[in-house]
Amino acid sequence: MSDHSSSEPESDSAQRQASSGQTQRSAEISSIELIDQCVASLPEGDERIALLYQLRHRFIAMTTATQQHEVEQAKMKTVIEKLTSPANRIGTLIGLPEEGVARIVVGGAEYYANVDLQLEGDIPKIGHQILVNEAYVVIRSLGYDRSGPIVKVREILEEGRLRIDQEAGRQGVLIERADDLTNMDLKVGDEVRLDPTHRIAIERLENSQAKSHLLAELPTVKWEHIGGQQEAIESIRRAIEYPLLHAELFSQYQFQQPKGFLLYGPPGCGKTLIGQATAASLGEILANDGGAATSLITENSKKDSSSKLPPINGGVFLYIKGPEVLNMWVGESERIIRDLFLQARQQRQEGKLPFLFIDEAESILGTRRTMRSYNVSNTLVPMFCAELDGIESLTQVVVILASNRPDMIDPAVLRPGRIDRKIKVGRPGRHDVTEILRVYLKADLPYAKSDGSGNEPSVSEIIDGLVENLFQASQENRVLAIRLRNGRREILSRQDLLSGAVLAGIVRRAKERAIERTIKAGDQKSSGLTLEDLLMATNAEFKESEIFPPDDSAEEWLKLLDYHPDQVVGVSSLKPGKDHEEHRVSQIV
């Protein structure tokens, strides 16, 4: 019995194994293949073949529908997972202490988190925004944030750390650099953008305002481009160029190059042009003379407490108009002054000789007054003087001021040791007017024939004719009558109001008249510039200039005419035609 019972289970298990093997083999064969085998086993013409083909088509349709259902079900499952899964948090990477570990800040809290070995996207850098899952594992790098506060670098510390300026009354903050700023040469005063945690500088920004004051190249104005003003030009060339051209001689006398210059005089007489020509001339000397021209400056810099400076290999021109410094926000104007001098020092550190030219200087460096309300001059003047007298040497920064009203500039600015040279750029005389006209009336301009001979007048004849008209003692040239306290009466003529700008306006009007006449005639050969065009342009220029100020500002207006008003009791415009006849209605004093 025992043998029989033991043998029966063995046979059952063998049958089960055989049946399971057959089932496995049949599962490996698809239903379509089984149908195809059945069709192949039937004789041709059998009616059952048609039924098998119908069954085969139904199986194919069912299989296709099942596959589409599985795809749609998988999509639905993915959507459900996205809708029900928890949100991933965004943080900032502030350090990688070791491989596979990240130091991150998420929601203001700091974590040591693992980094997914299959990290999507780029490898994260210091300062990048990163994506972390619910387990705070870094799973993706999102790159740098595109927004953030902008701050200014106040100090550069060791190990690349930066000290930034904060709001008034708050202490400074130390920040780290992002990976992309590690090897960047940041300077004090540069603007950087912070990450959302305010702990890492991630981008350096260009200071557009400071860049607007720095000309890409030195001006190209040459001394020969300035007509007249020989006395002023010689004065400034002696003060600036001689120490460079004769460095050894000046070194023997232990001469220290002047720190600042003031160009003053009536408007339109070439102060700005002289400043630009100074920068262009010095830049050319420094470029052509090698290191010899800078020996005096280098010797002076060694005596200062500033750090060693590189040799000068060129120059840069920083040009700013005084009103551009003024700002409605308290302290902003002072900041602009600091930035200008800071930028000048940085250019010198790069081997450039900077020229800081401030036009309309009286608008920001006016005389300080005692008053309870805020006055920008009371803070700008001390700031300007402090920069000139600062700890860092300014022997290698040339400061040039230009002003129409030097009497309005604070005396502390103009004292020796700050603005050392005061050079007057006066109104042009007869010879100066001739030289200025030669600059504007070139020989290659089209000139009209003066008579029937067909000969064109020379440029010198036209210039001499215009100069003679401007300086002749005629009633037409009389402009103003000035009555003094002693009873004397002085007449100001057109020659007393001339300037380079006025002469340029006369030539421009004459050219416009000649061009218009040529267009109407339709023949360029028969037209051209004439002396008559220049004379009519002169009358038009002075006629438009006959606009006088009100009584309360007449004294200031006379100073712009380079005429001191202390003894003046009355000024009135003259009517052309009759001698001693005045416009009483236009009396301005």
Sheet of strand 353-359: strand arrangement: 315-321, 353-359, 398-403, 260-264, 421-424
The answer to whether 537 and 510 are in contact (CB under 8 A) is: yes
Q: For residue 2, what pLDDT is reported?
A: 45
Q: Quick check: 317 pLDDT over 70? A: yes
What is the rounded CA–CA span in Å between residue 359 and residue 271?
9
The model carries a pTM of 0.67
Give the pLDDT confidence score for residue 545 in this predicted structure. Answer: 64
- 259 against 3, higher pLDDT: 259
Segment 531-545 mean pLDDT: 85
Q: Across residues 287-305, what is the average pLDDT?
A: 53
For residue 408, what is the DSSP state?
A: G
Q: Is the pLDDT of residue 576 over 80?
A: no
Rounded average pLDDT over 391-395: 49
Question: pLDDT value at position 556?
Answer: 62
Task: Give the whole-angstrom CA distance, residue 229 versus residue 277.
Answer: 13
Per-residue confidence (pLDDT) for residue 416, from 0 to 100: 84
181's CB contacts (< 8 A; 6+ apart) are 192, 201, 202, 203, 204
Could you identify the residue written with the tokens 């093997």?
21
Question: How far apart (Å, rounded) are the C-alpha atoms in residues 24 and 583?
Answer: 125
Give the pLDDT mean for 201-208.
Answer: 80
Task: Evaluate if residue 527 carries a pLDDT over 50.
Answer: yes
589 contacts 571 by C-beta, under 8 angstroms: yes
CB 90 within 8 A of CB 138: no
Considering only residues 342 and 110, tell me which one the structure prediction assigns the higher pLDDT. Answer: 110
Please determine, for residue 293, whether its predicted confidence score (pLDDT) is greater than 60. no
Do 378 and 349 contact (CB within 8 A), yes or no? Answer: no
In 91-151, alpha helices (H): none
pLDDT at residue 525, as a whole number: 62
How far apart are the C-alpha atoms of 386 and 388, rounded to whole Å?
5
The three-class DSSP label of residue 105 is: strand
- Residue 214: pLDDT band (50, 70, 90) is low
- Residues 303 and 183: their CA atoms lie apart, in Å, by 33
Tell me the backbone φ, ψ of residue 365, rounded to 5 degrees: -115, 35
The better pLDDT of the pair 589, 269 is held by 269
Write down the pLDDT at residue 305: 44
pLDDT at 142 over 60: yes
pLDDT at residue 285 is higher than 70? yes
The pLDDT value recorded for residue 6 is 46
Beta bridge partner(s), residue 104: 93, 111
> The tokens 């048609």 sit on which residue?
50
State the average pLDDT for the chain: 77
Report the pLDDT value the prediction gives residue 30, as an integer from 0 to 100: 72
CA distance 130 to 124: 7
The answer, yes or no, to whether residue 303 has pLDDT greater than 80, is: no
Check residue 487 and report its DSSP letter: S
Contact 110, 93 (CB under 8 A): no
Q: Per residue in 271-297, is it b (16+ CB within 10 Å) or e — as a string?
A: bbbbbbbbbbbbbebbeeeeeebbbbb
How far apart, in whole angstroms, are the C-alpha atoms of residue 430 and residue 470? 9
The answer on pLDDT for 537 being more than 50 is yes
Task: List the beta bridge partners of residue 388.
Answer: none
Instruction: Tell me the pLDDT band of 508, cut-offs 50, 70 and 90.
Output: very high
Evaluate if residue 587 carries a pLDDT over 50: no
Tens digits of residue pLDDT in 158-170: 778 898 876 655 6
* Residue 28 confidence (pLDDT) above 50: no
**pLDDT band of 374, cuts 50, 70, 90:** low
Chain position carrying tokens 């599985």: 70
| Rounded Cα–Cα distance for residues 359 and 418 (Å) | 17
What does the pLDDT average to over 287-294?
56
Position 11 scores a pLDDT of: 53
Residue 20 has pLDDT above 70, yes or no: no
Residues 250 and 395: their CA atoms lie apart, in Å, by 15
Query: Which range (22-36, 78-92, 485-499) has the least confidence?
Result: 22-36
Task: Average the pLDDT over 96-124 and give the result.
Answer: 86
Reduced to 3 states (helix: H, G, I; strand: E, B; else coil), residue 46 is coil
Backbone angles phi, psi at 120, to 5 degrees: -85, 150
* Mean pLDDT confidence for 94-98: 89
Token pair 């109407």 is at which residue? 520
pLDDT for 111:
92
pLDDT band at 390 (very low <50, low <70, confident <90, very high): low
Encode pLDDT of 50-89 as tens digits: 888 888 888 888 888 888 999 998 888 888 877 777 788 8
Helical ranges in 407-499 per DSSP H: 411-414, 430-440, 459-471
pLDDT at 585: 35
pLDDT the model gives residue 457:
66
pLDDT in tens, 462-479: 888 898 988 888 877 787
